[in-house]
Amino acid sequence: MTAFASSPVAAVLGPTNTGKTHLAVERMCGHSSGMIGFPLRLLAREVYDRVVAIKGVASVALITGEEKIVPPTARYVLCTAESMPLDRDVAFVAIDEAQLGADPERGHVFTDRLLRARGREETLILGADTLRPMLRALLPGTEVIARPRFSTLAYAGEKKLSRLPKRSAIVAFSAEEVYAVAEMLRRLRGGAAVVMGALSPRTRNAQVALFQAGEVDYLVATDAIGMGLNMDVAHVAFASLTKFDGRRQRRLTLAEMAQIAGRAGRHQRDGTFGTLAGRDTFRPEEVAAIEEHRFPPLDHLYWRDGAPPTDTLDGLIAALERRPDQPALRAAPEATDLAVLKRLAGEDWVRARAADPAMVTRLWAACGLPDFQKTGADQHSRFVARVFRALSEGNGHVPHTWFADAIARLDNVQGDVETIAGRIAAARSWAYIANRADWLAEPAHWAERARALEERLSDALHTGLTQRFVDRRTTVLMRELGADAALLPVTVDAAGEVRVDDEPIGTLTGFAFRPLPDARAADHRKLIAAAERRLAGERAARARALAADGDDGFALLTEAGAPPAIAWRGLPVATLGKGKGLLRPAVRLDRAIAALPDAQRAAIAARLTMWVDAQVARLLQPLARIAAAGRDPQTPPPLRALLVPLGEAGGLIARPVVEPALAGLDKVLRYQARRLGITIGALDIFVAALLKPEAMRWRLALGAALADGGMPPVPPAGAALLPFDPVHAAAGYRPLGDQMLRVDLVERIARAAHQARDGRRRFAPDPSLATSMGLSAASLARLMESLGFRAQPAGAEQAAGWTWAPRRRARASAAIARPGNAFAALAALGRHDG
């Protein structure tokens, strides 16, 4: 609190975006109590919400003409300048935008507060530097602190409405022009938010929220935005440089231009200003003054007695018309409240009732009812007269039936934007009446009724403005693709439908976005581009969830003809391709995942690789052991000669291919092979554990990945016999004519046949085993021949049977073992047809 200790009254002066209001709030919160007067109800409400967040709702009051929130324990008061309770004893007082003392319509209010509003410990005056000479003249002991603007404000020239940069505010000076510009933006750029001083705080906040959240990129407003309302505006475009000030159409003053243009840029972000092409243009000297913050100093403020005596009606009027006695002050032009008072003073019944000081005070309070509907002094005075009549007769209260009827008439949310806005203006009059504590029998009840009515109408107005001036789909398509995704209301439902503020634009399947099928072909690229930027957060969340998921969240997809793939929670996310070996396939991320940032992509790839490794270790452990033993230098070379090709073949290989290696295995090495789970069969070398359904499926998937090809058909789980199809050979089935039998069952039949034979004598094997497997007689005959048996026809004294012919099988095996010769080719063909 030492910065302004040298003076009880200090002034902080500077252009827009200097943090003056923020400083005032900080200093007030450092005192035991305080009060700040603002130029707008909207700004008072905005700062009220900020102080409530700091001090708590029980410690903060809001006082405006139409709204009073005054907790019994309130120590900090945020209010409009007109509503400042000057009789309240507080430690700190601030007046915001004090240069408005030069405003012909409201200036006398700000001048009065400048002269009379004081805090016990500190008083702070906030305003433009143009106020400096007035402070020297009126408050010569005031300590003045100058604050520079945080960012640069630069002139950007004229721009067409269709060429305005994103985050622009277009300022117009009538409701009709605001609506016209907003309608043009809806057609050209998808929409705009609308802000006018006549809007209720609820409607204004809802409209600003559209803009602040990035749901629309443009804001169309009246000059109300110049009074310190905080919005993230990069560029301010003037639709006009003239306005009607209630008396005449005139060009904006330099100070007014700067106040509005200064809304561009926020804190340390630079801003620009300009005009709409084809309309008014800034003069060079105006541009230079605005950029350099050089404006003519004020040479007067408007004044009117802020505490006029109310002993008599004529004395009150005389006091209000009295001219100031200081050169720096000018008599304020006749305001609406004084004009209404003078009209009512001409009524005999009013003079009769305003015969004592208490009733004169009551009449003057009634004349202070603002003309929210802008009906003019004549019509407004009739409404005030009716109010005063009620206040001056009977119990001195506005009849509740009148109030209730008015609320009921206005409680209608149907109609266009202009109609609803008119109802809100009328509702503000009744809210003002309800917030005068002695004007109604039950002021709290009726204030709540009025507040609820204004909220309903405000919600309807916000909906109407949005429907009228925002084209949702066009807004989505036209919005800047570089916008911060965290600010965009993107939702993805359980079915993957992507919505931007409830507007569907497509679906997100896994990490891939697909635009709506009914979107125009020309819009597809825009929709995809929009989604790619706006779904960054959702994709990041999915990437984190995938990387942290358990093994049960993943599955192997083995669709015939397609590359083997990995699914996460039912959504394909990667395929398997050729890697460093059969058991180490490459994990190839889907295109949508491959486009993610490096860190997310790497985390997903690592998690999928970890899952594949875990499944290989769990389901194909025997194959992994064979491969490791084949690489181990400690493994005897003859055994390695068998293990290496068997491992490369996926744990299943035809015996003739490795016959030379088998010949080199002694009893000890064969035992070591069996310890590894290897079965050295009559026709095939295989690992029985790898013929289980899931292991078989993974073997086929890894084989397809190694070949960079599509998946072969996966046999039904547990199937022993299949119709002939050469693609099933890799799964572990041996061709036998028009049938294929799983190799472990082939080996069972082979052993049964050898156990049944008696040397080389003719024998008849038991057909029950083959029959139980569904093997046909022709297929059994093919199998017996492959095993080295020769069919013997029935003779005169002997039944048909089989004899063992080992030399024939040995010669065939030797021939097949020599690759590249005719026997090898015939053997390969024979493996298909038996």
pLDDT exceeds 90 at position 345: yes
Higher model confidence: residue 115 or residue 223?
A: 115
Which of 18-32, 122-136, 763-777 is predicted with the least confidence, judged by mean pLDDT? 763-777
The CA distance from 343 to 498, in Å, is 62
Is residue 711 within 8 Å of 575, Cβ to Cβ?
Answer: no
Q: What pTM value is reported for the model?
A: 0.56
Kindly write down the DSSP assignment for every residue of 479-545, as one continuous string: S-TTS-GGGS-EEE-TT-EEEETTEEEEEEETTEEEE-TTS-HHHHHHHHHHHHHHTHHHHHHHHHH
* pLDDT value, residue 141: 86
pLDDT exceeds 60 at position 338: yes
Query: How much is the average pLDDT of 524-544?
Result: 74
* pLDDT value, residue 229: 61
* pLDDT value, residue 627: 93
Q: What is the share, in percent, of the chain residues with pLDDT greater than 70?
A: 90
Q: What is the share, in percent, of the chain residues with pLDDT greater than 90?
A: 56
pLDDT digits (tens, 9 = 90+) for 232-278: 888 999 988 988 877 788 899 888 898 888 888 876 788 899 999 87
* pLDDT value, residue 5: 41
pLDDT exceeds 60 at position 414: yes
pLDDT exceeds 80 at position 17: no
Query: How much is the average pLDDT of 173-180?
Result: 83
Is residue 316 within 8 Å of 358, Cβ to Cβ?
Answer: no
For residue 327, what pLDDT band results from cuts at 50, 70 and 90? very high
Dig out the tokens for 274 from the structure: 């300009």
pLDDT exceeds 90 at position 746: yes
Is residue 729 within 8 Å of 686, Cβ to Cβ?
Answer: no
Higher model confidence: residue 488 or residue 231?
A: 231
pLDDT digits (tens, 9 = 90+) for 467-519: 777 755 555 555 433 344 344 456 788 778 887 656 677 888 888 888 777 66
pLDDT averaged over every residue in the chain: 86
Which of 80-89, 167-176, 610-619, 636-645 is predicted with the least confidence, judged by mean pLDDT? 167-176
pLDDT digits (tens, 9 = 90+) for 377-411: 889 999 999 999 999 999 999 999 999 999 999 99
pLDDT exceeds 70 at position 453: yes
pLDDT digits (tens, 9 = 90+) for 652-702: 999 999 999 999 999 999 999 999 999 999 999 999 999 999 999 999 999
The CA distance from 130 to 254, in Å, is 11
Q: What are phi and psi of 698, to 5 degrees?
A: -70, -35
Domains and CATH numbers, the chain: 9-146 (3.40.50.300), 336-454 (no CATH), 481-534 (no CATH), 736-834 (no CATH)
Angle between helices 201-212 and 443-469 (to 10 degrees): 40
Which of 130-139, 461-470, 590-599, 808-817 is predicted with the least confidence, judged by mean pLDDT? 808-817
Distance of CA 439 to the CA centre of its chain: 47
pLDDT exceeds 90 at position 33: yes
Is residue 822 within 8 Å of 725, Cβ to Cβ?
Answer: no
pLDDT exceeds 60 at position 293: yes
AA identity, residue 443: P
Query: How much is the average pLDDT of 629-634?
Result: 93
* pLDDT value, residue 144: 93
CA distances from 427 to 358, 411, 463, 679 (A): 28, 9, 18, 93
- Residue of 682, 806, 794, 691 lying closest to 748 (CA atoms): 682
* pLDDT value, residue 687: 95
